[in-house]
């Protein structure tokens, strides 16, 4: 049995997220169907984590086991020929039997893209949140930096059936910044892991700061006393990208 590690890039617009869901189109479901056809039996594909419906990925990490002796280069080409054009395997390699894309991950980076121009080009609309209205971007940048560190991010996370009630939802954020790049306002965050809807809720809160409805002190308060706040508002999924997943060398 061989364990194959792959990097997957996808446009999540037409999918109900990464995770397999009966009767719905998902990234994991499409990959398992194609790999199962190549292997001649069901193949379970494990990802580094779930992405929500409509969220995109530049470099999602995944792994699966095969008995088929096809070289990994040929496997990548064969799978890409069978995949729909909005999903692509960008790399494939054999790895050790103990590798797990979720449990071995050391850091993930997400980026949220907000289009600030008055008119959003039609070719950008699937990949940005269009917000042409007044926004204090300096306040957004100040608030974004407050996420750095180890915090209980319960005030930024949607309920998840895998959570144990009352358990702190602590994650470590290594870097967090927002800046303007031409017509885009970008929010990029790198951390040890992320909770359900966490980055979208963070982005939604940053927008409220930019609108003047909240202040950076409100962000500090949510980090200090997360149980006192409900998460949200969540920014739309279409502006969010999983940029990378990092593993020990």
The per-residue pLDDT for range 200-229, each reduced to its tens digit, is: 999 999 999 999 999 999 999 999 999 888
- Report pLDDT for 158: 84
CA distance 68 to 28: 20
Backbone angles phi, psi at 27, to 5 degrees: -65, -50
Confidence bin at 161 (pLDDT 50/70/90):
low
* Residue 169, pLDDT above cutoff 90: no
DSSP 16-73: S-SS--TTS--HHHHHHHHHHHHHTS----EESS---TT-EEEEEEEEEEE-----HH
Please compute the mean of the pLDDT values over residues 136-142 and round it to a whole number: 97
Q: Give CATH for domain 2-95.
A: 3.30.70.580
Q: Mean pLDDT, to the nearest integer, of 69-98?
A: 97
Q: Which CATH architecture has domain 107-246?
A: 2-Layer Sandwich (3.30)
52 carries an active-site annotation: yes
| pLDDT the model gives residue 49 | 94
As a whole number, mean pLDDT of residues 134-158 equals: 96
In the chain, beta strands by DSSP E: 2-10, 46-47, 56-66, 87-95, 107-115, 129-130, 149-152, 170-181, 184-191, 240-246
**Per-residue model confidence (pLDDT) at position 164:** 57
Given the residues 11, 52, 138, 163, select the one marked as catalytic.
52
- Reply yes or no on whether the pLDDT at 163 is more than 60: no
pLDDT tens for 29-44 read 999 999 999 999 999 9
Domains 2-95 and 107-246 alike in fold: yes
Q: What is the pLDDT of residues 97-110, one digit of tens each?
A: 999 999 999 999 99
Instruction: Residue 217: name the closest of 105, 123, 142 by CA.
Output: 142
Decide: residue 110, CB within 10 A, 0-12 exposed, 13-18 middle, 19+ buried: buried
CA distances from 164 to 156, 201, 207 (A): 16, 20, 30
Among 244, 123, 236, 100, which residue's Cα sits nearest to residue 175? 244
Q: Which two tokens stand for residue 167?
A: 């358990």
Average pLDDT, the chain: 95
| Confidence (pTM) | 0.94
Query: Is pLDDT at 112 greater than 80 in this prediction?
Result: yes
Rounded to the nearest 10°, the torsion over CA 203, 206, 212, 216 is 160
pLDDT at 134: 97
Domain boundaries, the chain: 2-95, 107-246
pLDDT, tens only, 189-201: 999 999 999 999 9
How much is the average pLDDT of 151-171?
77
Work out the average pLDDT over 66-91.
Answer: 97
């Amino acid at each position: 049995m061989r364990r194959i590690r792959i990097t997957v890039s996808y446009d999540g617009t037409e999918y109900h997220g990464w995770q397999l869901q009966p009767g719905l189109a998902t990234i994991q479901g499409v990959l398992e169907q194609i790999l199962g056809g190549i292997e001649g039996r069901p193949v379970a594909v494990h990802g580094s984590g779930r992405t929500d419906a409509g969220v995109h990925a530049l470099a999602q990490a995944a792994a699966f086991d095969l008995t088929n002796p096809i070289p990994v280069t040929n496997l990548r080409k064969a799978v890409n020929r069978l995949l729909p054009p909005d999903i692509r395997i960008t790399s494939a390699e054999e790895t050790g039997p103990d590798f797990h894309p979720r449990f071995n991950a050391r850091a993930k980076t997400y980026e949220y893209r907000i289009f600030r121009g008055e008119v959003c080009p039609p070719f950008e609309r699937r990949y940005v949140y269009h917000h042409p209205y007044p926004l204090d971007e300096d306040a957004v940048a100040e608030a974004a930096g407050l996420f750095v560190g180890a915090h209980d991010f319960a005030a930024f996370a949607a309920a998840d059936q895998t959570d144990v009630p009352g358990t702190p939802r602590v994650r470590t954020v290594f870097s967090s910044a927002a800046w303007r790049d031409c017509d885009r306002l970008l929010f990029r965050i790198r951390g040890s892991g992320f909770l359900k809807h966490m980055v979208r809720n963070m982005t939604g809160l940053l927008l409220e700061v930019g609108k003047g409805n909240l202040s950076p002190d409100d962000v500090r308060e949510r980090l200090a006393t997360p149980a006192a706040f409900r998460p949200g508002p969540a920014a739309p999924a279409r502006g969010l990208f999983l940029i990378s997943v990092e593993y020990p060398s």
